[in-house]
Chain A
Amino acid sequence: MKLKAVLENYVFVLPAVIIFSIFYIIPFVWVFQLGLYEWDGILPTKLFVGINNFKEIVFEDPAWWGSLWNAGYITLIALTFQNALAFLLAWACDREIRMKNFYRMVFFIPPVLSEIVVGMVWRFIINDIDGANIINRMLAGMGFPDLVHNWLSDPETALTMVALVHSWKGFGWGFLIFLAGLQTIPHELYEASRVDGANARESFKKITIPLMIPVMVLVAILTVLGSMQVFELILGLVGGEFAGHTSVPALRILASMRVSSRFGYACAQGISFGLILVIISFIQYRFSHKARQASN
């Protein structure tokens, strides 16, 4: 009877465990295994090369480092510009104003769209086919013909365009989380500080910012993880790696697999990149832990 009960319990978790083991755990293990081989994905024999793939990534692959640099650039703009915008909007909404729900509804439309769609729509708006470029048309119309520019086909500006469109798509996430955080701050705190003679700026500095630090760190971690791994947006917006100018690690991994047919090397790149992401979020987590302790 008891055995039957235990078996019955396993019936509940079994479907999840089976699907998860086959389609998550096995590929997870294989990534680490394949990273040690040179393999084209077709031949039955794989050539064991040990850590040579990783050596190549670190010492002989400038394109990889370039792609990391690009992802870092996108992340930096997302962390500063996008999150500052999200915070400002949330702060503006965190008061008794009309249409608050309308604003919240609209700002979260871009995040629910797919990166491919967002990339392609924005390409249609800022690419340089004759006449289709609304941004250029507006610039010319407002009397700045010198600023008219082939934004996406200029190596100097293409990556910035990617970062800006990425920010357009992503700020709604930060906005929602910031707004939820701001709404947890009790109103009595602000009233008490006003009675004590503090003006709006002082109470913002002394109450809002310190209480929001944990939320800010959460948003920062999510932003870094999301922005470092962006690539579908680039496929939609630019069309590809643009000779390295808009290449990011995820696109490099995809190219190693599909263009150079180096499955082992692609896995090694994936491991290296995953490691970098884990280290970054660990550092941020430690930082938030310290910040929380300091504020207590």
Chain B
Amino acid sequence: MKTAVYYKTKKITINALIHIFLLTMVVVCVFPLLWMVFSSFKTQETIFRDASLIPREFHFENYCLAWQQGGFGRYFLNSILYTASVVIGIIIVSSLAAYAFSRFRFPGRKILFIIFMAAMMIPVPGSFVALYVLLNKLHLRDTPFGYILCMISVGLSTSIFLLKTFFDKMPRELEDAARIDGCSKLGIWWHVALPLARPVLAVVVVFNALNVWNEYILALIIFDSRKFMPLQVALQTFRGEFVTNYPLLMAGLTITALPIILVYLLMQKYIVKGVTSGAVFG
């Protein structure tokens, strides 16, 4: 009897300690973000004096200012446009290629696939220098089109790998049935393979969307014109100009961070799947 009580107390104590440890880390994770959001509602005068987390009065005008005068409305739309175009482009291009690599036999199939996979393994830290030169030559620098194409190529290897792995394991009966019914190869890809691949397509979409939304260096060297800049680059320029207006900067940061947090919370399942499959390298 005594030992049972002893073990129970011990178990409760250990569980409590574990929860305290985990909750501390939760606070460490969340606090900076809450501080960012709440600071964006303060004013330039109160932001340094008001040390409380939740401000005494909420100033929503920071968001209007950032959105209009700060230009964040435009940058936000740019980021949305780039993210959507790149993700759609990657889905189409990589699923076509992955389907061919998985189902068809043609000369050069193996070597092409190896080249795509090798690109995933080899880091090329200076490649943005050459990309800058290339885009200059193609007259695609400082154009959204050039940036979108570059970002599509960045995401291709990993997406092809994920999709091919999925197609390899996918049963072929439905495709065979469609072929017997006279469906073309492209038709089978579109009507049969893509709908079946929906779970892995979700992983591809989420990871590429995060990647494009958070991308900085290529946007920095490709865009000179302010009107094309995505949020990440605009934030850095913005800070240079409004160096002292912290509430406004915090509003800009919140505008940049919030969509990605929401996407993450909604698509969490697919992110966990992507990370733990070990295929998506951070």
Contacts and interface: CB of A to CB of B under 8 A. Distances in A.
Contacts of B47: 132
B162 to A, nearest CB: 14
Given A13-B96, A116-B216, A109 B153 contact: no
Contacts of A13: 96-97, 100-101, 112
B237 to A, nearest CB: 11
Contact of B246 (A11, A109, A132, A134): A132
A154 interface: no
- Residue of B129, B131, B265, B282 with most chain A CB atoms under a 10 A cut-off: B129
Given A134-B35, A173-B275, A31 B25 contact: no
Given A9-B104, A97-B18, 14 more contacts: A6-B106, A15-B93, A16-B116, A23-B134, A107-B25, A112-B210, A115-B214, A121-B35, A124-B39, A124-B250, A131-B51, A222-B281, A225-B281, A267-B130
Given A16-B160, A277-B125, A31 B130 contact: yes
A270 B101 contact: no
Given A13-B100, A31-B130, A112 B261 contact: yes
A167 to B, nearest CB: 11
Nearest to B234: A116
Contact of A114 (B112, B122, B213): B213
Contact of B104 (A12, A99, A229): A12
Chain B residues touching A, range: 35 or more
A97 B105 CA distance: 50
Interface of A: 6, 8-13, 15-17, 19-20, 22-28, 30-31, 34, 41, 85, 88-89, 92-93, 95, 97, 99, 102-117, 120-122, 124-125, 129-132, 134, 137, 168, 170, 173, 176-177, 180, 218, 222, 225-226, 229, 231-232, 235-236, 249-250, 253-254, 257-258, 263, 266-267, 269-271, 273-274, 277-278
A10 B214 contact: no
A117 B127 contact: no
Most A C-beta atoms less than 10 A away, residue of B99, B125, B276: B125
Nearest to B213: A114
19 contacts: A12-B100, A15-B92, A16-B97, A17-B112, A20-B115, A23-B153, A31-B127, A41-B133, A103-B25, A106-B26, A109-B264, A114-B232, A121-B36, A180-B276, A257-B128, A257-B129, A257-B132, A271-B126, A277-B123
Nearest to A141: B51
